[in-house]
Chains A and B, each alone.
Chain A
Amino acid sequence: MFQDRYSLAFKLYPYKRSADQDADTPVRHPVVVMGGGPIGVATALDLGLQGIPVVVLDDHEGIGMGSRAICFSKRCLEVADRYGCGEPMLEKGVVWNLGKVFHEDRKVFEFNLLPEEGHKYPAFINLQQPYFEKFIVDRVREAQADGAPIELRGKNRVDSIDVRDDHVVLRVMTPDGAYTLEADWLIGCDGANSPLRSMLGLDFTGRVFKDSFLIADIRMKAEFPTERWFWFEPSHGSGASTLLHKQPDDTWRIDFQIGWDVDRAEEIKEENIRRRLDAMLGPDIEYEMVWSSIYTFQCKRMDRFRHGRVIFAGDAAHQVSPFGARGANSGMQDVDNLGWKLSLVITGKAPESLLDSYDEERIHGADENILNSTRSTDFITPKSAISHIFRNAVLDLAEHYEFARPLVNSGRLSLPCTYDGLSLNGPDALPGGPSRTRVGSPCPDAPVGDGFLLPRLGNDFQILTIGAEAPEMLEEDGVTARRFAISASDDPTGVLAERYLGDASAAVYLIRPDQHVAARWPAFDETAMRTALRKACGKD
């Protein structure tokens, strides 16, 4: 009755009988999250830290073996930092800046991510997904100890649901048998094959790519540098393209493109994986296999992420190819976007329609991610003879000419999206204000005093004043915005002024709880601020 679909790296929430299973009538919870992957657990953490009771149901008892995601972006880490679990990720993760691109056996060029100064987090870290997930669960445990109303229920599999106007009824299977549970809101974080989507008969549309990839995570002491190496058509013949990337614990990710018509059962045999690895690494390098898997991928999304009282997030809502590391990274941005909105709706401070902006903003994000990862995939695995000719022409030219290098696409690394022109945006009324902090943007980090700006922003609405006056607090229809004031002396490096003032001499920003810019002006104007705050909460 209860068969694990995968083995565990960390058993973190063993099955325990809950009082709900013995209740005479089904117990109603404000929020139930279906799926305890990184996105489900982060959703619970976001809501729990805001005091909203939340129950996570997962059909396993912890985090799956095998790394899957390894590349976590700055924005993803900043979201984790807001929840209090970014620092352990940074500490464990590997920071890299240098990438090399090869074609056949020649190095075509190398690039440096050239990290911009003045950010708490680097552009990227490499970290095995199980660690990423474990740090989130660790933070949940800490928050629970401080009273956050979060429950993680292992071996609780949602088998069917019944959606009503103002709640959802769930049928949950456990090792002790089935029970019924009710939720005012159900968040679907049950992964790319989402059973919830099927239960609701909802479509998942897009492109399937006809290629398969073999991943091998290996442990070796070899002296490869901490760089990203990408081979197009490597002459060692181990695959049509190959990626080598460093992870913590002397572990390396190697990803071989092996074609569509392959015998998977044959390819996944250790001796066959070793043959590819030996061809690539040379015969004298010793290594130990940590994990391997064959995957294919799709770029797909749901037409809408919100269906009444059921809301989808993470891979369940959208799936991208791994090139560009946009899966977990964009899922974390879903959570960042949904948490504060759902909390305002549940506490009666904003209308239910605010949740439609989650749909609007995150579909915008998903489309951007799908576009970028589709383009990378088309470059890496050309679909036609002519596309292959152009791809190789770009590589030939890139070896000699700088102009062709921006055309080489071995994965465009994930950047957060800006909600340009969307419904919650207020006025972008700061003459001379920088484009990167325009309304809709995620706030870029900057040094403030002896720390950083982002850890001071978020969780609530804030009025960020830079060399400008404003009241310490403002309340509009139940929603408060607190002031965070910065003066020239807090910005010794001038980086903050460069990122937030541009040519302006002073500025007032309205910042959303997810650290996106809601509106900005040169000075505080109470009426304008109140109007923008209402708009950012989906009112009128």
Chain B
Amino acid sequence: MSTLNLKPNIEDPDGFYADLIGAHEGLSDAESAALNARLVLLFANHIGDRDILRKAIKAASNPGKET
């Protein structure tokens, strides 16, 4: 069983966050939602592991109850 990493793992978190919010600048709500969907799919593909993806979906749907 693979485990979903819930410990800090992003280098320069403030820089990442600024890039993320920056990517949405000037977009309409629908465009933002579409951007987020594309991002999720890209991240998911990079992770690949179905078990991890299942846990991540659970964690996002119900924070604190991923297992």
Q: Which A residues are closer than 8 A to B by beta carbons?
A: 372, 375, 378-379, 384-387, 390, 394, 396-397, 399-403, 405-407, 409, 412
Q: A406-B8, A409-B14 are in contact. Are A401 and B59 (CB under 8 A)?
A: yes
Residues from chain B with a CB closer than 8 A to the CB of A396 are 63
Whether A407 contacts B13 in the complex (CB less than 8 A), given A375-B18, A386-B29, A390-B21, comes out as: yes
B40: interface (CB < 8 Å): no
Contact A399-B8, Cβ < 8 Å, known A390-B20, A409-B17 = no
Decide if B2 is an interface residue (CB 8 Å cutoff): no
Expressed in whole angstroms, the minimum distance between the Cβ of B64 and any Cβ of chain A is 4
A378: which B residues are within 8 A, CB to CB?
18, 21
Tell me, in angstroms, the Cα distance from A379 to B18 when the chains sit together: 9
Query: Please, which residues of chain A bring their CB within 8 A of the CB of B63?
Result: 396-397, 399-401
The 23 listed contacts between A and B (C-beta, < 8 Å) are A375-B18, A378-B18, A378-B21, A385-B29, A386-B21, A386-B24, A386-B29, A386-B36, A387-B21, A387-B24, A390-B17, A390-B21, A396-B63, A402-B6, A402-B8, A403-B5, A403-B6, A403-B10, A406-B8, A407-B14, A407-B17, A409-B14, A409-B17
**Which residue of chain A lies nearest to B65 when distances are taken between CB atoms in the complex?**
A400
Q: Does B3 contact A (CB under 8 A)?
A: no
A409 to B27, CA, bound (A): 23
Query: Most chain-B CB neighbours within 10 Å: which of A396, A403, A409?
Result: A403
| CB-CB nearest 10 A-B residue pairs | A400-B64, A406-B13, A386-B32, A400-B63, A401-B6, A386-B24, A406-B8, A407-B13, A403-B6, A387-B21
Residues of B with C-beta under 8 A to A407: 10, 13-14, 16-17
What band does the interface of chain B fall in when counting residues whose beta carbon is under 8 Å from A? 20 to 34
Q: B10 contacts which chain A residues (CB < 8 A)?
A: 403, 406-407
B14 and A375 contact, CB distance less than 8 A: yes
Main SS of the interface on chain A? helix
Residues of A within 8 A of B36 (CB): 386
Q: Which chain A residues border B14 with CB–CB below 8 Å?
A: 372, 375, 407, 409, 412
B46 within 8 A of A: no
Residues from chain B with a CB closer than 8 A to the CB of A412 are 14
Check if A403 sits within 8 Å of B29, measured CB to CB. no
- Closest chain B residue to A401 by CB distance? B6
Q: For the complex, what is the distance from the CA of A407 to the CA of B16, rounded to whole Å?
A: 9
Given contacts A390-B21, A407-B14, 13 further A-B contacts (CB under 8 A): A375-B14, A375-B18, A386-B24, A386-B27, A386-B32, A394-B17, A399-B63, A400-B63, A401-B6, A402-B7, A407-B13, A407-B17, A409-B14
Expressed in whole angstroms, the Cα–Cα distance for A409 and B17 within the complex equals 10
Let me know if B17 and A384 touch, CB within 8 A.
no
Tell me which residues across on chain A come within 8 A of B13, comparing CB atoms.
406-407
CA distance A375 to B16 in the complex (A): 11
Tell which of B6, B14, B32, B36 has the most Cβ of chain A within 10 Å: B14
Chain B residues whose CB sits within 8 angstroms of the CB of A402 once the complex forms: 6-8
Closest chain B CB from A398 CB (angstroms): 9
B1-54 interface (Cβ within 8 A of A): 5-10, 13-14, 16-18, 20-21, 24-25, 27, 29, 32, 36
Q: CB-CB < 8 A to A384: which residues of B?
A: 24-25
CB distance from B59 to the nearest CB of A (A): 7
Contact B7 A403 (CB under 8 A): yes
Asked if A375 and B27 make an inter-chain contact with CB atoms under 8 angstroms apart, the answer reads no
In this complex, which of B5, B6, B16, B36 has the most chain A Cβ atoms within 10 angstroms of its Cβ? B6
CA distance A406 to B64 in the complex (A): 18
**A49 → chain B closest CB, angstroms:** 37
Which A residue sits closest to B16, measured CB to CB? A407
Q: Is the CB of B17 within 8 A of A403?
A: no
A375 and B20 alpha carbons, distance in the complex (Å): 12
Q: What is the distance, in angstroms, from A455's C-beta to the closest C-beta of chain B?
A: 33
A contact residues around B60 at 8 Å (CB): 397
Q: Tell me the bound Cα distance from A402 to B5 in angstroms.
A: 10
Bound form: Cα–Cα A378–B15 in Å:
12
Closest A residue to B31 using CB positions: A386
Is the CB–CB distance between A375 and B17 below 8 Å? yes
CB distance from A536 to the nearest CB of B (A): 30
**Closest residue of chain B to A389, judged by CB?**
B32
How far apart are B16's CB and chain A's nearest CB, in angstroms?
A: 8
Chain A residues contacting B5 (CB-CB under 8 Å) are 403
B36: min CB distance to chain A, Å: 8
Q: How far is the CA of A240 from the CA of B8 in the complex (A)?
A: 27
B34 to chain A, nearest CB (A): 11
Query: Given A401-B6, A403-B6, A403-B7, do A379 and B17 touch, yes or no (CB 8 Å)?
Result: yes
How far is the CB of A161 from the nearest CB of chain B, in Å? 39
Nearest to B18 among chain A residues (CB) is A375
A residues in contact with B21, CB < 8 Å: 378, 386-387, 390
Residues from chain A with a CB closer than 8 A to the CB of B25 are: 384
Q: Which residue of B lies closest to A382 (CB)?
A: B21
Chain A residue with the shortest CB-CB distance to B20: A390
Distance of A403 Cα from B10 Cα, bound (Å): 8
CA A396 to CA B60, docked complex, whole Å: 9
Chain A residue nearest to B5 in the complex (CB): A403
**Complex alpha-carbon distance, A394 and B63, angstroms:** 11
